[in-house]
C-alpha cells in the first residue's frame, strides 16, 4: 500500500538512510541530520509539484516512492524509489509500487511521460523498470562517482501510450 509520506515515518526512514546498499543504489552522497530529515518529511504533504508516498506492507515501512519535478507544460514528471534495505529487496515491493505510481501518474495526473535515471550498477532496479514498461533512452556517461569509481547513469522513460 502507498500512503502519504510524513514525519510519522521518521524512525523507519532514518534507519533506511543508514543502509549503505540503499544509499549506493540511490547514489546518495549527502549526509543528513535527524532534524533535516524530520523537517523534510514534515513538509511532504504540502508539496504541489511532487508526491511522496511511504511504501507499506501491512503496517511495516519498506521504502518510499516519489513523483517529482512536474513539468505541466510538457506533461512529464520524474520518478524515484528507495527501498529500505536488503529486507525489502527482491520481494516484489518495488515492482508493485512502480505499477501503482504509474497508474496514478497516467490516470489521475494525466501526464504523458514518466522519466527516471538508474545507476548502471543496479541491474535489479533496471529489470523492474523494464518489466513496468520503461525503455532506455540514453546514458549519461560517468555521471556517478561512487567510492572513487565512475559509473554511467541510464536514462529511462515510459509513455502513457506504451504497453505496461
76-83 and 2-4 strand pairing = unpaired
* Mean pLDDT to the nearest integer, 29-40: 90
Question: Quick check: 31 pLDDT over 90?
Answer: no
| Architecture in CATH for domain 2-159 | 3-Layer(aba) Sandwich (3.40)
| Res. 64 pLDDT band, cuts 50 70 90 | very high
Question: Quick check: 17 pLDDT over 90?
Answer: no
Sequence ranges of the domains in the chain? 2-159
| Res. 27 pLDDT band, cuts 50 70 90 | confident
* Mean pLDDT to the nearest integer, 42-52: 91
Amino acid at each position: 500500500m502507498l500512503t502519504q509520506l510524513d514525519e510519522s515515518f521518521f524512525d523507519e526512514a532514518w534507519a533506511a538512510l543508514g543502509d549503505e546498499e540503499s544509499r549506493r543504489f540511490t547514489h546518495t552522497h549527502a549526509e543528513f541530520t535527524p532534524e533535516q530529515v524530520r523537517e523534510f518529511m514534515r513538509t511532504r504533504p504540502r508539496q504541489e509539484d511532487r508526491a511522496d508516498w511511504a511504501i507499506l506492507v501491512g503496517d511495516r515501512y519498506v521504502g518510499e516512492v516519489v513523483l517529482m519535478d512536474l513539468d505541466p507544460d510538457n506533461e512529464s514528471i520524474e520518478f524515484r524509489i528507495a527501498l529500505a534495505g536488503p529486507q525489502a529487496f527482491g520481494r516484489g515491493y518495488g515492482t508493485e509500487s512502480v505499477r501503482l505510481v504509474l497508474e496514478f501518474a497516467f490516470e489521475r495526473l494525466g501526464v504523458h511521460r514518466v522519466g527516471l535515471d538508474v545507476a548502471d550498477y543496479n541491474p535489479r532496479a533496471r529489470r523492474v523498470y523494464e518489466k513496468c514498461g520503461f525503455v532506455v533512452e540514453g546514458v549519461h556517461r560517468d555521471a556517478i562517482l561512487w567510492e572513487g569509481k565512475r559509473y554511467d547513469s541510464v536514462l529511462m522513460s515510459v509513455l502513457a501510450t506504451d504497453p505496461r
